[in-house]
Amino acid sequence: MQVSSYLRTQHPHSTQRDHQNLRDMLPYLWDYRGRVVFALLTLVFAKLANVGAPLLLKDIVDSLDKSQQNILILPVLLLCIYGLLRLASAFFNELRDSLFARVRYHTMRQVSCKTLHHLHKLSLRFHLDRQTGAISRDLERGTRSVSSILNYLVFNIIPTLAEFLLIALILLSQYDIKFTLITFVTVAIYIAFTLAITEWRMEFRHTMNAKESEANYQAIDSLVNYETVKYFGNEAFEVQRYSNTLHAWEEAAVKSQTSMSVLNFGQSAIIAVGSTLILFYASQSVVTGHMSLGDLVLVNTFLLQLFIPLNFLGILYRAIKYALVDMDMLFRLLEQTPEIQDAPDAKPLQLTQAQVQFKNVHFHYQPDRPILHNINFNIPQGHKVAVVGASGAGKSTLARLLFRFYDVTQGSIHINGQDIRTLTTASLRTIMGIVPQDTVLFNDTIYYNIAYADPNADETAIHTAAKIANVHDFIQQLPQGYQTLVGERGLKLSGGEKQRIAIARAILKRPHILIFDEATASLDSKSEQAIQNALNELAHQHTTLVIAHRLSTIIDADEILVMEQGHIVERGTHTQLLTQQGAYAHLWQLQQQERTNSPTENR
């Protein structure tokens, strides 16, 4: 899948979807329904004033065409009223814009917040599959499209429709029916032509959007992986890949512009024919005496007022179609059902002791790729259990299941005797802290990243957590101390520095259950020993699950589980496992040999 426009490719766009999306947008207007009604009333007043002005202009022209006896009195009064009508039209239009601004931007804020909240609710599986650069672009277009639809409806579609109906009513009631027929036929042909050509052009627009999102994703992805690009000298490769995508975008953009020219010319031709016919019959009626000169001016003015916005309506229709496509992607994203949800009767975790139990746990990401097989173990309150094994054995999956990022395929996980599937995820995750193997920091200060575990924590608590994690002295040596920016994903810090900050963050959370997913893998021996001593102290107060690569860090664990291909093949204390002379003993001997051969560790 090239871009996050997967939403579009998996679900073809349709008129039914447009109607559904427009209905889904209505609840966002409910908070300011009074303003919406008032704005629509000002719209009606503006159009009444706008249509009334040509009627008054007709009387002015007719009065000038008659006897000159009242010319110094009557036209002046009518001109004053004419000016007031124009002023009233402008006033009500601006008042409508001001009233609706709150509705428009409030709706944008609501949609944006709801989308971000929904993205956080979606499962880890969704976020592992997504492409951040492309989806951010799609979300930006989708949120903007909601504002655009509201603008088009209130500022263009409804006003144009109201004015068209008023003008048609006046033409039908005061003039020969042929003027109304020509107007209606012209509008019908115009709309039919616009719909047909625009539907043809939509394919080019879809391609443009898809390639734009893909190019945006490629650019961001190459910048996020800046060091990797440099390591392999692939700058030219990245630029070429970006250029190839933009070339496809360029071709679609040229076709889109060319077809737009065809559409614009056709629209202009239809309007020109319709206008000429109406003016021809109006002029003929003036010559025969069936219409006055003022009537001719009135019909001409109505044509200008009707066909000028109608000409813009073609552009507007295309913009609405594009906005509807973008909005459809957003609403389809909001329709994505979170994989992990609280049960209807879910209850908060009742914690008297933080005891963890895995009972006959089986799990797979895909049915044809089982990860865990019949996993059983228990971590009593205050005990430390370590899990070791080769990469891909399923060790990190245990932590993801415990946090309930996924649900087990078979079996169950219990905390304090309660199945975690029956608990609220908020209460479950509140009591756990983790230091992941791949530490990712926010592009903010060190202080912010540590305080993220508890935004209400004071400076003393943050410094204490940093000292326990053996990172306080390092931070103090930096020119800006705790206010040092870490860069995107913590790029400005080393792997060991990032991990120590992550450890401080976990400590600050004061969890009942601690999970360390190879938490000291990026540390040098000195830092590892200092942190290990601190973690050992914490382990006496917390229930701890340690996923380890270095066996030297878990020799004091109450129980060590050895995993191979999703199975627990050995279990026991460090001493017991060495005595068994099995897989654990073999790993221990290999690591001891590595330490002997490399007495100086440079990490």
414-460, pLDDT tens digit by residue?
Answer: 999 899 999 999 899 889 988 887 777 888 999 999 999 898 999 99
In this structure, what token pair is assigned to residue 430? 């509140």
Q: What is the pLDDT of residue 482?
A: 92
Q: Which range among 84-93, 262-271, 317-326 shows the weakest confidence by mean pLDDT?
A: 317-326
Query: Domain-by-domain residue ranges, the chain?
Result: 101-335
The fold for domain 101-335 equals ABC transporter transmembrane region fold (1.20.1560)
Asked if residue 66 has pLDDT above 70, the reply is no
d(CA 387, CA 379): 12
Interval 15-33: pLDDT, tens: 677 777 777 777 777 777 7
Contact 163, 50 (CB under 8 A): yes
Q: What is the pLDDT of residue 85?
A: 81
Asked if residue 71 has pLDDT above 60, the reply is no
Strand pairing partners for 485? Answer: 445
Strand pairing partners for 308? Answer: none
If you count DSSP H runs as helices and E runs as strands, how many of each does the chain have, helices first?
Answer: 20, 10
d(CA 593, CA 562): 20
The most confident of 10-19, 90-99, 167-176, 358-367, by mean pLDDT: 358-367
In this structure, what token pair is assigned to residue 65? 């065409």
Q: What is the pLDDT of residue 338?
A: 82
Asked if residue 183 has pLDDT above 60, the reply is yes
Average pLDDT, the chain: 81
Q: What is the pLDDT of residue 525?
A: 67
Q: Which range among 83-87, 130-134, 385-389 shows the weakest confidence by mean pLDDT?
A: 130-134
Radius of gyration of the chain (CA): 35
d(CA 113, CA 120): 11
Asked if residue 347 has pLDDT above 50, the reply is yes
Interval 462-478: pLDDT, tens: 999 998 888 898 899 98
Q: What is the pLDDT of residue 198?
A: 78
User: What pLDDT band is residue 523 in, cutting at 50, 70 and 90?
Assistant: low
The most confident of 208-212, 446-450, 596-600, by mean pLDDT: 446-450
Asked if residue 568 has pLDDT above 90, the reply is yes
Element spanning 568, H or E: strand 567-572
Looking at per-residue pLDDT, the higher value among 419 and 494 belongs to 419
| Residue that is written with structure tokens 């592992």 in the block | 128
Q: Which range among 82-91, 261-270, 513-522 shows the weakest confidence by mean pLDDT?
A: 513-522
The most confident of 110-114, 532-536, 582-586, by mean pLDDT: 582-586
Q: Exposed/middle/buried for 221, CB within 10 Å: 0-12, 13-18, 19+?
A: middle
Asked if residue 1 has pLDDT above 50, the reply is no
Asked if residue 13 has pLDDT above 60, the reply is no
Q: What is the pLDDT of residue 531?
A: 65
Averaged pLDDT for residues 531-557: 78
Contact 130, 14 (CB under 8 A): no
d(CA 282, CA 277): 9
The pTM for the full model equals 0.66
